[in-house]
Structure 1
């Protein structure tokens, strides 16, 4: 860069100098295992923010967002994605549901017996849908039978009969017929069915819910899909 100036007497003066700009950068940061991140600007320059999310079945520990600070260190604490540890030993149905708040969506399937035709059809249909459920952060809760001969189950974890009964009462689910309830991450009762539906219908419905569109963008950028 150069400048030339003249005074009223016609004298001339010139100067030239160079400006070198160096971007302040933090050390590289990577997505947590079983998770992904999205950063703005260059991703490691001063002021850049990186947001973290976990894949289905895992919950975030540490900072959900970290900022590259002036001292070239990242704000917050290291981010990890740990497998969810669902406690089925809680005393109340609300205590059970609170564990999923802002973390997982719920698909609650209830039937009077395991031989119920609708129940068997629904569970058979979901057998090959686990990837799609995980991609959408969906946990399936089964409530089968009539109290006290009632079985509740979350994956391989059994829910005590009394807690399963509380869950039905809280959500106003009849034990006499097949029922399915879909709940979003904010604990809102979104959809109810008295008949089975396909996994494709479940996925299409969930993909219209608030917050799901943002998840889809992040998952696509991270390459998380179901083959």
Structure 2
């Protein structure tokens, strides 16, 4: 018996498969049997990762029973279904997910409530100075502004605390926090009131590093890239083609 094609008991992948058996008897008479095995997989339409987000799917990603899970990059919040399943009617369950920019509420009453908004979403680099004229503050801010791509890639939000209460100003990008809230943040994180300093806070609200002088973006990024969670992010960003020169 001569077989052309996959042998009995094989797992046939999706597609058309030609099977042919050829049999010879002792008199060299030949008999041939041919047939096709067609494997069709129920599939839903292909899904795409939301803008500013990630998608991770099981199996082929669009076959019946496949599950796709969605998440957003730091600073964005998921709206819609966090997971969708390809159903037997070839339609995806749930609703299309989107990633909306994080809206920071600076009207909260406590510094703890302010920090809670960033939990598992963003890292914070809190830059504190008693005066906007402080040379270290101005130089540090200049370096950070030139490294914005690297900050975004690592999900870092810069928080500025400038001045001394009651003229203290707290700034998160374009949002200005009340002086009392900015003072609470300084006290909660034990930030000196009358000298330049910085605190790096991770996504779980942990104080990871403190600086009393200038730090280069490269040194800052090298430290953050050693964090276990950051290593997971780097894998996802590599798969999504998200890169930065910094």
TM-score by length of 1: 0.87
User: Which of 39, 56, 70 is 1:52 aligned to?
Assistant: 70
- Aligned-pair distance for 1:56? 4.5
- Aligned-pair distance for 1:185? 0.9
User: Which of 103, 117, 122 is 2:135 aligned to?
Assistant: 117
User: Which of 83, 92, 116 is 1:65 aligned to?
Assistant: 83
Measure the CA separation in 2 of the matches of 1:161 and 1:83.
25
| Cα displacement string for residues 194-213 of structure 1 (whole angstroms, at most 9, x for unaligned residues) | 11201111111111112111
| Cα displacement string for residues 28-86 of structure 1 (whole angstroms, at most 9, x for unaligned residues) | 11121232323343221123332323245322222333332344333443210101111
Cross-structure match for 2:202:
184
**Aligned partner of residue 113 in structure 2, secondary structure:** helix
Measure the CA separation in 1 of the matches of 2:83 and 2:154.
21
Cross-structure match for 1:20:
38
* Alignment pair present for 1:172 and 2:190: yes
CA contact (8 A) 1:149 1:161 kept: yes
Cross-structure match for 1:93:
111
* Alignment pair present for 1:154 and 2:147: no
Q: 1:222 to 1:20 in 2, by over 3 A?
A: same
Cross-structure match for 1:78:
96
RMSD of aligned residue pairs (Cα, Å): 2.2
Cross-structure match for 2:228:
210
Superposition pairs for residues 140-151 of structure 1, below 5 Å?
A: 140-151=158-169
| Cα displacement string for residues 109-135 of structure 1 (whole angstroms, at most 9, x for unaligned residues) | 111111112211210111111111111
Structure 1 range deviating more: 54-63 or 163-172: 54-63
Gaps of 5+ in 2: 1-18, 22-32
Structure 1 range deviating more: 95-104 or 20-29: 20-29
Measure the CA separation in 1 of the matches of 2:134 and 2:190.
20
Q: Which runs of 4+ in 1 moved over 4 A?
A: 15-18
Measure the CA separation in 1 of the matches of 2:73 and 2:185.
26
Q: 1:213 to 1:66 in 2, by over 3 A?
A: farther
- Aligned-pair distance for 1:170? 0.9
Measure the CA separation in 1 of the matches of 2:233 and 2:93.
24
Higher relative contact order (CA 8 A, sep 6+): 1
Quick check: which has more Rg, 1 or 2? 2
CA contact (8 A) 2:50 2:97 kept: yes
Measure the CA separation in 1 of the matches of 2:171 and 2:145.
15
- Aligned-pair distance for 1:17? 6.2
